[in-house]
Structure formats: structure tokens, C-alpha cells
Amino acid sequence: MSLRKYLVGGNWKSNGSMAFAKSFTNDVLNKLAFDPKNVDVVVSPTNLHLPAVQANIGNNVNIATQNISLTGPGAFTGEVSACMAQDAGIRYTLTGHSERRSLFGESDADVATKTKNGLMFDMTVLLCIGEQLAEREGGVTNDVNARQLAAVREQVDDWSNIVIAYEPVWAIGTGKVATPEVAQETHAAIREWLAANVSKEAADGTRILYGGSVSDANAAELITQPDIDGFLVGGASLKPAFHQIVAACNEHKA
């Protein structure tokens, strides 16, 4: 079992409504069964719905932005900067989600800059990395992850507030979850990369989450792997199943 505190993140993507944000917070998030000593829980609604969740949520669940801007405040229409997120009391952000990379053209360097910006404003950054199906089939998964991580290493020295979310793109939203063995092997390779390129402390201390079709049916088995420190959950984070996923991590740690 991992020695690190687990983290379970819920990424709502571009889903939800004001009514959903309030009812899901009251009915599911405020009834999650976990000890915050074992597990950090972080939910990431859209920026429009964040205040409704923030206003209704209990103390033990944290909130995150799904994205932050490459820039500081200023004439950047449509963007929300890390400085504003911090001012709004938001302590976590995602960066580099595969949808940001593939649908919105974010480069490895962009993701690195966004990660640096979040860290600069005292946010914990959930840095998402992962390979496409063709890259997995071509045997270059570890090279792709290393490339994405190396771009961050160029801009960031202190990794203590980075959480890595390994999300194979072929597993996101497809129902094709990585097997525990495949996820463990890749997480171990990421940890080796941290040891070689950041520090032994970063390799030992950095939480590496698995994401991609995590559900109440597979979470309990995946979390038994020694290098899996929690999950980043998409679809199932909008359903009552999120309760079981958090509970599975809490039980395994307890």
C-alpha cells in the first residue's frame, strides 16, 4: 500500500447546472464517508458553478479550477488567472488535462507555465499527463509521460505541491480502464522519472493519481497498487458512485 495520503479528485468538465451543483453538494459531497487524515477530496466544477459548491460544501472537501490562464490578470478576454483563483479561496487547480491538450491546443510548455503559475499562487496543482492509444500501442508510453514531465521540470524546481494525474487518453470516458498491473507499471515508471530528474524526496512524496474510467466497480482493486495514490475521476464524479470511490480509498488507507 502507498505510504502517501490519498487524493480523490472529481472533474466535472463542462457539465452541471446551478441546481445540480447545489443538490450534488448537499446530497453526495457533504455525505462522503472519509477521514481527511487518509484522503484529500477535491472537486472541480466549472468556474460558473464553483461558488455554488463552495458556498454549500462542508469543511473537508476542497475545490479546484479545471484550468488557469497562461497569464496574470489583464486584457486576456475569457481567461481566469491563478492569482484570481487564489483570491477566490481556491487552493487547487488541474493543469494539462488531455482535453485541454488535444481540443484546445495546449502545448507541453503551456501546461508547464500554467503549472508554474498555479504554484506561484500557493495552489496545489493536479498535473495531468498521459499517452494516446497509438502511443501506448507503439510502446512509447513512458517516453510521452517523460516528455510531458520534462517540460514542467524546465520551469519548476519545487515539486512539493504538484500531484501527478496519470490519465491514459484511451481510458478517458471510454469505459476501458487500465488494468491494475498496467497502471502500476506506468506509475512506477513515473516515480523513477521523478527520482532521476527531480529528487528522491519528490519520488517518494509525490502523489500519483490514476484517471480514466475509474468507477465504483474498479476503484477498490486499483487502489491496492503500491504506486497508485488515488484517482482523478470524470464521469463517475457526477454520480453517487463518487461516494463508493472515496470510501474505497478511505477503507484501504484506514
Contacts to ligand PGA by CB under 6 A: 11, 167, 172-173, 211-214, 232-236
Given 99, 106, 135, 167, which residue is catalytic? 167
Query: Is 97 known to be catalytic?
Result: yes
- What is d(CA 123, CA 223) in angstroms, rounded to the nearest whole number? 25
DSSP one-letter code for 177:
P
Q: Of the candidates 240, 189, 237, 218, which has an alpha carbon nearest to the alpha carbon of residue 8?
A: 237
Three cell numbers at 242? Answer: 463518487
Q: How far is the CB of 215 from ligand PGA (least distance, A)?
A: 8
Strand partners, 114: none
- Cβ closer to ligand PGA: 67 or 198? 67
Helix axes 141-155, 108-120, angle to 10 degrees: 50
Q: Which helix (H) or strand (E) element contains residue 85?
A: helix 82-87
Q: How far is the CB of 28 from ligand PGA (least distance, A)?
A: 16
Q: How far is the CB of 144 from ligand PGA (least distance, A)?
A: 17
- Cβ closer to ligand PGA: 9 or 118? 9
- What is d(CA 199, CA 202) in angstroms, rounded to the nearest whole number? 5
Q: What is the dihedral of CA 218, 103, 81, 235, to 10 degrees?
A: -20
Place of cell 464553483: 50
Query: Is 137 known to be catalytic?
Result: no
Q: How far is the CB of 11 from ligand PGA (least distance, A)?
A: 4
Q: Which residue has its beta carbon closest to ligand PGA?
A: 234
Q: How far is the CB of 18 from ligand PGA (least distance, A)?
A: 22
- Cβ closer to ligand PGA: 113 or 237? 237
- Cβ closer to ligand PGA: 4 or 13? 13
Which residues of 140-252 form beta strands (DSSP E)?
Answer: 162-166, 208-211, 230-233
- Cβ closer to ligand PGA: 11 or 113? 11
Active site residues: 97, 167
